[in-house]
């Protein structure tokens, strides 16, 4: 039986109580408000499927009010001296850190993610604010591009009010990752959090305003994708949409935003490969492979959901993964020992479980897991699973399952490893394990993905570009790449003398 520290459970209940009383409200122009329609929806606990929170069901009217507030707040926010903006964003980071236990507990209860990972959610979120706070000072910087007759200088200006739409897997961290650069760039924001896990987004906007963020700069509208989300992508006052979620939703957003010529930034799905050559440090490769698929319940866009292993070591390496997968501690998200918690929602758990039937139909061997897990509370638990001897063209090797499920595929040589790695529609991340430096260079270059880690798991460094190729996304986040999205580059050409101006109609 899993044990939760009693003070942690009591505090978590206390944190949740507020949302039972007031409901999870929208935040528009500095005010906590219910939906204009007066409608609510309920979220459910992934642990025991009991009702968790009552949430304002925002729609087009709420989005329109929020966008107007963001438009009204934009000129002053964009004109704020960067030093002042930097200080404010650091104050938000301080306030996030001060409420780390609350953020961690609420994130665990709302999403089912384990405390051992969510205990760092506030720190990661605060780090995003601090990193972009310091970048405020150079956000407007450009280039000097002199020509013979003109002195050209570029600068960047914030694009305007932006819409940010986030998914449910690690909502707190992802919200800060998208919102911090937007604010640092001088944009104002309307945020539409995922309907399955809205609580920490509500807390985040409160923290920001309590820390001194001017009203209307950051607005949050809860609701479903097909109404509040869609309205945001169609709203003429919103100049750009930064979206994190499924590839199919990305396509829909692109179509919805077409008539208002929305600039879009997409971080979408993945079916990322970890490629393990026989010459690698296999102990480290094993740890990294296990971490990258079974941490965060496998509900992670950069999860290593395929492991491609060189034939000569395939049996031994996959046997070790299976042994470890069976020993992973599945349990209550608030139990500090838990390594894999319940998945977000029964519908998502059913989707993940349905792949066990697909695997059986495709003739794949299930070397670990392959069923639901009887966890505390009886919620959406899925046993950590390993499929072995899969072929690259099978559905279990091609489709994003987004759970603690790993597909192992053997390969003969380097060429086949690359072919299998690139055989999917996605192109987000790749992981490569080899001690041959020339091979590391060749294979990492040949992988059709936006990010490759060689002899490493996913270790983020905020100045580096984050994003995917193919169906995994459009655009990059991180460092200056974020400002390229949230800002317009403007060129100003100053004539340096009396160059010849073409004369028309003068004779
Ligand atoms: P989703 O696409 O179903 O939903 C994401 C958000 O989009 C939610 O807020 C939802 O309400 C909204 N939405 C849905 N339909 C919409 C529409 N028509 N218009 C506007 N908004 C709409 O994704 P999800 O199930 O919440 O999240 C899981 C997916 O997110 C996975 O595919 C995962 O790989 C991806 N993801 C990608 C990254 C990355 O950085 N590439 C990071 C995390 C998650």
The model's pLDDT over 68-78, given as tens digits with 9 standing for 90+, comes to 999 999 999 99
Strands 150-158 and 487-495: antiparallel
CB atoms within 10 A of CB 254: 16
Count of structural domains, the chain: 2
Same domain for 284 and 255: no
**229 within a domain of the structure (yes/no):** yes
Query: Is the distance from CB of 324 to CB of 294 less than 8 angstroms?
Result: no
| Pairing outcome for strands 273-276 and 31-33 | unpaired
- What is the structure's pLDDT at 1? 36
Mean pLDDT of 445-459: 98
- C-alpha of residue 225 to centroid of ligand 1, in Å: 9
The predicted-structure confidence for 357-396, as pLDDT tens digits, reads as follows: 999 999 999 999 999 999 999 999 999 999 999 999 999 9
Q: Are 232 and 192 in contact (CB under 8 A)?
A: yes
Residue (of 248, 233, 221, 228) closest to 399 by Cα position? 248
Q: Is 411 exposed, middle or buried (0-12, 13-18, 19+ CB in 10 A)?
A: buried
Calculate the alpha carbon distances from 226 to 233, 241, 256, 432, 478 in Å.
10, 15, 11, 38, 29
Residue 268's alpha-carbon distances to 224, 301, 314, 317, 426, in angstroms, are: 18, 7, 30, 30, 9
Candidate list 195, 209, 267, 339, residue with the active-site label: 267
**Same domain as 286, residue 245:** no
DSSP line for 353-366: HHHHHHHHHHT-EE
Residues 225 and 320 in one domain: no
Query: Which residue, chain included where needed, has tokens 């992988």?
Result: 447
235 given a catalytic annotation:
no
Q: Which residues line ligand 1 (CB under 6 A)?
A: 165-169, 174, 192, 194-195, 224-226, 229-230, 233, 244-246, 249, 252-253, 256, 267-270, 301, 400, 402, 428, 468, 472-473
Kindly report, residue by residue over 96-113, the tens digit of the pLDDT: 999 999 999 999 999 999
- Shared-domain flag, residues 69 and 97: yes
pTM equals 0.97
From 190, 245, 468, give the residue whose CB has the most ligand 1 atoms within 8 Å, as the site to mutate.
245
CATH code, domain with 121: 3.40.605.10
> Cα(185)–Cα(484) distance, rounded to whole angstroms?
9
Q: Which residue range is the domain that position 207 belongs to?
A: 8-268+472-491
Distance 167 CA to ligand 1 centre (A): 4
SS3 label, residue 419 = helix
Looking up residue 368, the CATH number of its domain turns out to be 3.40.309.10
Q: Determine, yes or no, domain membership for 499.
A: no
18-56 pLDDT, tens per residue? 887 899 999 999 999 999 999 999 999 999 999 999 999
pLDDT tens-digit map of 268-306: 999 999 999 999 999 999 999 999 999 999 999 999 999
- For residue 501, tell me if it sits in a domain: no
Strand partners, 307: 274, 408
- Token code pair at residue 368: 């670990």
Q: Which residue, 114, 459, 449, 172, is CA-closest to 296?
A: 114
2 — pLDDT class (breaks 50, 70, 90): very low
**Per-residue pLDDT tens over the stretch 209-235:** 999 999 999 999 999 999 999 999 999
The answer on pLDDT for 415 being more than 70 is: yes
507 pLDDT exceeds 90? no
Q: Is the pLDDT of residue 6 over 80?
A: no
Residue 16 located in a structural domain = yes
Beta bridge partners of 493: 152
Same domain, 247 and 102: yes
In this structure, the answer to whether residues 363 and 223 fall within a common structural domain is no
């Amino acid at each position: 039986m899993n044990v939760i520290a009693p003070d942690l459970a009591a505090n978590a209940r206390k944190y949740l109580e507020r949302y039972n009383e007031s409901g999870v409200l929208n935040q528009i122009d500095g005010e906590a408000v219910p939906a204009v329609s007066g409608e609510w929806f309920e979220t459910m606990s992934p642990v025991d499927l009991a009702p968790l929170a009552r949430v304002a069901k925002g729609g087009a009217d709420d989005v329109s009010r929020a966008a107007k507030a963001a438009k009204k707040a934009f000129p002053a926010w964009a004109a704020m001296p960067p030093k002042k903006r930097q200080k404010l964003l650091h104050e938000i980071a301080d306030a996030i850190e001060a409420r780390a236990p609350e953020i961690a507990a609420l994130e665990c209860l709302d999403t089912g993610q384990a405390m051992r990972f969510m205990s760092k959610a506030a720190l990661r979120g605060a780090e995003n604010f601090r990193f972009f706070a310091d970048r405020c000072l150079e956000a407007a910087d450009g280039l000097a591009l002199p020509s013979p007759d003109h002195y050209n200088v570029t600068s960047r200006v914030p694009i305007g009010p932006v819409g940010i739409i986030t998914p449910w897997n690690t909502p707190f961290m992802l919200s800060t990752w998208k919102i911090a650069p937007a604010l640092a760039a001088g944009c104002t924001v309307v945020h539409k959090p995922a309907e399955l896990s809205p609580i920490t987004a509500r807390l985040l906007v409160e923290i920001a305003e309590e820390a001194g963020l001017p009203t209307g700069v950051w607005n949050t509208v809860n609701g479903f994708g097909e109404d509040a989300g869609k309205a945001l992508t169609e709203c003429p006052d919103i100049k750009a949409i930064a979206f994190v979620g499924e590839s199919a939703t990305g396509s829909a957003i692109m179509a919805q935003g077409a008539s208002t010529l929305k600039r879009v930034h997409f971080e979408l799905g993945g079916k990322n490969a970890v490629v393990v050559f026989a010459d690698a440090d296999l102990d480290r490769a094993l740890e990294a492979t296990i971490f990258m698929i079974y941490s965060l319940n496998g509900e992670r866009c950069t999860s290593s959901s395929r492991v491609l292993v060189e034939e000569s070591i395939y049996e031994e390496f996959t046997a070790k993964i299976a042994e470890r997968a069976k020993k992973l501690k599945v349990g209550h998200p608030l139990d500090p020992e838990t390594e894999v918690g319940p998945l977000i929602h029964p519908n998502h758990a059913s989707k993940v479980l349905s792949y066990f039937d697909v695997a059986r139909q495709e003739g794949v061997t299930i070397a670990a897991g392959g069923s639901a897990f009887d966890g505390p509370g009886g919620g959406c638990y899925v046993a950590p699973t390993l499929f072995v001897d899969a072929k690259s063209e099978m559905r279990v090797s091609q489709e994003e399952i987004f759970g603690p499920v790993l597909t192992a595929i053997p390969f003969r040589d380097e060429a086949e490893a690359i072919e299998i790695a690139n055989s999917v529609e996605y192109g987000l991340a790749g992981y490569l394990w080899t001690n041959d430096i020339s091979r590391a260079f060749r294979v990492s270059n040949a992988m059709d993905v936006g990010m490759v880690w060689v002899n490493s798991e996913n270790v983020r460094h905020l100045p580096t570009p984050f994003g995917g190729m193919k169906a995994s996304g459009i655009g990059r986040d991180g460092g200056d790449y974020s400002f390229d999205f949230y800002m317009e580059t403007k060129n100003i050409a100053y004539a340096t003398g009396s160059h010849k101006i073409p004369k028309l109609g003068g004779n």
